[in-house]
Structure 1
Amino acid sequence: MSDFVGDLDPQQAWDLLASDPDAVLVDVRTSAEWQWVGGADLSGLGKHTLGIEWMTSAGEPNQGFVEQLGRAGVGPETPVLFLCRSGHRSSAAARTAAAAGYGPAYNVAEGFEGDPDPQGRRGTVNGWKVAGLPWRQS
């Protein structure tokens, strides 16, 4: 069993991805979110984000999540960071991955879009995008 290390804010996550050549970022949002909202762009680090859904677009748990981590090339000693919209799904994914022997595992707190503002909109309060970190939309 590996360790769930805890939360990193988006800048700390970027710094770890930049400083550790083995560290990987796994975006656990749905494929619809990747397509319509965008995602972290690690090309400047010579890396790419792995997309492995925690929940399917139909709202069902991804029963093959742990197996898909291994198939994506994540090794048992690989530092792995998990990202979702706001940091909730990714926290559960990081803990599950660590319990399955992956990691050290980290949750990117605040997520890609962050917490909702008083009007209920995301992407204005905190998160990867608000931190000014590289991202792209397809």
Structure 2
Amino acid sequence: MKHLSPKEAWAWLQAERTRLEAAGQDGPLFVDVRMEIESLYVGRPPGVENIPWYEYPDLTPEPQRFAAAVEAEAGSKARPVLLICRSGKRTLDAGQALEAAGFVEVAHVVHGFEGDLNDAFKRSSLNGWRHDDLPWEQM
């Protein structure tokens, strides 16, 4: 699994999209593994697909279900997949599940969308997608 900073992930998405589309293929699949409510209300990068690693009320990951859902959206295990979550922790487990299921190219966004907690227990102040001022939208 590739570990990409938010800025590296954004650059990788753009470059891979251009490369693959020039070859007549779909660009990378960008997956937000947070719960749907997190993705909608906290914000998310544009063009991301929400496929939760786990969901309320169980909050229990189901790796096979997750891998099957990603494969259904990707259309192929050969399609590159980029994962993002709140802080970059859930994507590690989700990425390992995809690799175990046979996905060929998996990457994740280190520090995720909101980044690490600062000394005042607030996110988006030290690192992460929003901190790096990358494109995002909110419902």
Q: TM-score range by the shorter chain?
A: 0.7 to 0.9
The aligned counterpart of 2:128 is 127
Shift of 1:25: 1.0
Unaligned runs of 5+ in 1: 42-47
Structure with larger Rg: 2
The aligned counterpart of 2:23 is none
Amino acid at match of 1:20: E
Amino acid at match of 2:101: A
SS at match of 1:96: helix
Q: What is the aligned-residue identity percentage?
A: 33
Moved over 3 A (4+): none
Shift of 1:9: 0.2
The aligned counterpart of 2:53 is 54
Amino acid at match of 2:45: A
C-alpha change, 1:102 and 1:113, in structure 2 (3 Å) is same
Shift of 1:74: 4.4
Instruction: With the length of structure 2 as denominator, give the TM-score of the two structures.
Output: 0.87
The 8 Å contact of residues 29 and 74 in structure 2, kept in 1 or not, is answered as no
Amino acid at match of 1:24: L
Count of paired positions: 128
- 1:19 equivalent to 2:15? Answer yes
- The C-alpha deviation readout for 1:8-65, integer Å capped at 9, x for no partner, is 0001100110011222211000011012101012xxxxxx211100011221224510
* Aligned residues: CA RMSD: 1.2
Matches within 5 A, 1:109-120: 109-120=110-121
Unaligned runs of 5+ in 2: 18-26
The 8 Å contact of residues 114 and 123 in structure 1, kept in 2 or not, is answered as yes
d(CA) in 2 for partners of 1:35 and 1:128? 15
Matches within 5 A, 1:33-72: 33-41=38-46, 48-58=47-57, 59-62=59-62, 64-72=65-73
More helix by share: 2
- The C-alpha deviation readout for 1:88-111, integer Å capped at 9, x for no partner, is 001111111011111310111000
Amino acid at match of 2:31: V
More strand by share: 1
